[in-house]
Structure 1
């Protein structure tokens, strides 16, 4: 078992995609290739089985196979964080324990899927998972996508659990970063989780960026973060303004299809998704294709 040091929760962590074969079975070889390329391109960590990893479209054994591949591919080069996104608390506990046994470095835990909990139920879910593992945990707050807001009242109670160490903040209101720091100081590491407010999040105190579009444009994502850390805000803004049309895709309901299509256009993966998702088509597909090709023609980093 490995424990992720607090100072490792920083930098660019792509929410990596899970790759599928033509028959929509999980393509472990292609998934390994995608992950290895991201590491080679300089990302600081990997999120496996997040939203873009289509966690809830995979069977239990498939999830474990993807995690095994991620841990093997990383081989200690970067931390591997597993999403924990289940319908019930009991399933989330079992999966967290299995992920720990498979050698991941940390967990990104979501509220139980579909059900909208009370405050007590929300806290009980996160508490049960945290108490079932020694791995460090990042709470994932995404009220727009998952209809549940992890508020200050919940975090106040969860702060008592020592292995809950980070919050992925995907609320579109960037005031949350300041409110969290004012309320909790440095108790939680904050990670920006919504691509089109990532730089704002970093400026307001986030220590890293969990990104969807990094899967298609890793060099630019890392360069944006590096410029910010170096204090070169003009360079960071230059990259961010170039990136913004694509970053907006991360805030849409078809973000997974858009990101995977972007990967395919950039020669980094396949656009195949599992139903109920379907690949983009018609005007929406043409729109995203045009955005990606325009961005690729004007890339501020690399070839």
Structure 2
């Protein structure tokens, strides 16, 4: 159902700490204009856990306005299954195209609990679901066994594969064929994942470098892997910023430098300071200064 480059967008705040509607509209629009294939809101990068439920719906609606007919997914990440189900219902009522569902970030469920919780959210929202499998960040592994068990429910349509092990993608394909659309969720494994059959990229640094991200994806889909690899090698130091405890601050600083946005975050996060900030600035400024010339993408399928 979903494929292509689908940004996990950041949430923009005013100086007073409220949602910055105008800046989100501008930033989301840049990604759609660059050729992205949809948007995902209120994820880890979107500081979803820091947003009130009504704010998540506000961000969803801003993204829907920017995306037009393209899909906009709501991330469901909650401590309890009941809370997750409630958010799924609210997202459905607000017209979300689908849900990206994360197991409880607070209680580390076993396989039986993980499956039961995912099924409950699917029933509550009654929308297409992208299962977010990220054992590194969330310490719960949505395994191929669980994916196989869930395959009887047609609402589960896609996997955001973020295990940090490219062998997992092959295992999913070998076990389940094309039952799920597999999208990579690790920026600095994107080329590798697309090489072995992933049909999409739930991207982070795309919010700062949308055209380059789309170029890598479309060139790979067109079989022009050598050209894609050249861009990816340039991009790789920046993509590494996604794989960090400070990914939100890293990427918002990249946005500030690359697209003249702001880097405001919601407490307890604080903007980067000191040596860490200097290093991120160095990486991003170097990428901007050495930006590759991109091929004409207008003839390549989205």
State if a TM-score over 0.5 links the two structures. yes
Tell me, yes or no, if the aligned pair for 2:128 and 2:157 is still in contact at 8 Å: yes
Counterpart position of 2:51: 58
Q: Match for residue 255 of structure 1?
A: 247
* Match 1:145 to one of 137, 158, 176: 137
Q: Conserved in 1, the CA contact under 8 Å of 2:32 and 2:66?
A: no
Aligned with 2:23 (options 8, 30, 41):
30
Any residues of structure 2 matched to 1:30-179 within 5 Å, and which?
A: 30-76=23-69, 78-179=70-171
Q: Which blocks of at least 5 consecutive residues in structure 2 are unaligned? A: 295-302
Deviation string 1:192-226 (CA, Å, 9 cap, x unpaired) is 00000001101111100011000000000011111
Distance in 2 (alpha carbons) for counterparts of 1:118 and 1:146: 13
**Secondary structure class of the residue paired with 2:125:** coil
How far apart are the structure 2 equivalents of 1:292 and 1:18? Answer: 20
Q: CA deviation at 1:266?
A: 1.1
Q: Moved runs in structure 1, 4+ residues, more than 4 A?
A: none
* Secondary structure of the structure 1 residue equivalent to 2:226: helix
Does the CA-based 8 Å contact 1:106-1:135 persist in structure 2? yes
Whole-angstrom CA distance in 1 between matches of 2:247 and 2:101? 20
- 1:192 aligned to 176, 184, 204, which one? 184
Report how many aligned residue pairs link the two structures. Answer: 294
Name the residue aligned to 2:4: 11
1:180 aligns with 2:172: yes
Aligned counterparts of 2:260 and 2:81: Cα–Cα separation in 1: 35
List alignment gaps of at least 5 residues for structure 1: 1-5
1:247 is displaced (CA, Å) by 0.7
| Gap change, CA 1:148 and 1:268, over 3 Å in 2 | farther
Equivalent position of 1:246 in the other structure: 238
C-alpha distance in 1, partners of 2:275/2:203?
Answer: 25
CA distance in 2, matches of 1:153, 1:180: 9
Q: What value does the CA root-mean-square deviation take over the aligned residues?
A: 1.1
* 2:252 matches 1:267: no
- How far off is 1:301 after superposition? 3.8
For 1:215 and 1:257, how far apart are their aligned partners in 2? 13
Alpha-carbon offset, residue 268 of structure 1: 4.4
Structure 1-normalised TM-score? 0.95
Match of 2:284 in 1: 292
Deviations along 1:238-259, one digit per CA (max 9) or x if unpaired, are 0000000011111111111000
